[in-house]
């Protein structure tokens, strides 16, 4: 009980001391110079003539970047190192759905026969100059065929 009483008295003394320090600092003159008084509004603003237009010229519009075609966006997605060429490794790097469709026996392993049957032929048929790299025009030939849209069931 005595500890609580002593703690309460000590807290009151500390609060009183803080209040005295705060008040003594408030009564001292400030070391920061006061800002100059503001000039009158009529002195600082220019006055427009009677024939001045109400609105100025419109700001210039920023140039728009040309929109890439679907094939260009698809090519850029595969061209990981941005050298304007798609290697076989870049083309096959992120194709998990394609992997699953190539895995005909469903064992999560591609045999060379499974791979070569679908993928190698597609790449080879697109590579017109046989340099093992696809240019943009060659890459456009690898585009998947569009699925037929179902008719209306009215």
- In angstroms, the CA 133 to CA 107 distance is 30
Contacts of 105 (CB under 8 A, 6+ apart): 114
pLDDT in tens, the chain (154 residues): 888 889 999 998 898 888 888 887 777 777 777 777 766 655 667 777 888 777 778 878 888 877 777 778 888 887 888 888 887 777 777 666 666 777 778 776 767 777 666 666 777 788 888 888 888 888 887 777 776 777 777 6
- The pTM (predicted TM-score) of the whole model is 0.28
Domain definitions of the chain by residue range: 70-140
Record: fold of 70-140? Recoverin; domain 1 (1.10.238)
The span from the CA of 6 to the CA of 9, in Å, is 5
């Amino acid at each position: 009980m005595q500890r609580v009483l002593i703690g309460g008295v000590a807290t009151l003394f500390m609060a009183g001391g803080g209040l005295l320090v705060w008040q003594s600092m408030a009564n001292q003159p400030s070391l920061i110079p006061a800002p100059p008084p503001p000039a009158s509004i009529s002195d600082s603003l220019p006055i427009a003539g009677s024939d001045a237009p109400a609105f100025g010229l419109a700001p210039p519009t920023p140039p728009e970047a040309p929109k890439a075609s679907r094939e260009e966006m698809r090519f850029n997605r595969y061209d990981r190192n941005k050298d304007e060429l798609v290697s076989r490794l870049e083309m096959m790097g992120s194709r998990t759905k394609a992997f699953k469709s190539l895995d005909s026996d469903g064992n999560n392993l591609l045999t060379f026969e499974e791979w070569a049957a679908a993928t190698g032929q597609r790449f080879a048929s697109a590579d017109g100059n046989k340099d093992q790299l696809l240019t943009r025009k060659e890459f456009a030939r690898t585009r998947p065929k569009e699925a037929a849209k179902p008719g209306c069931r009215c």
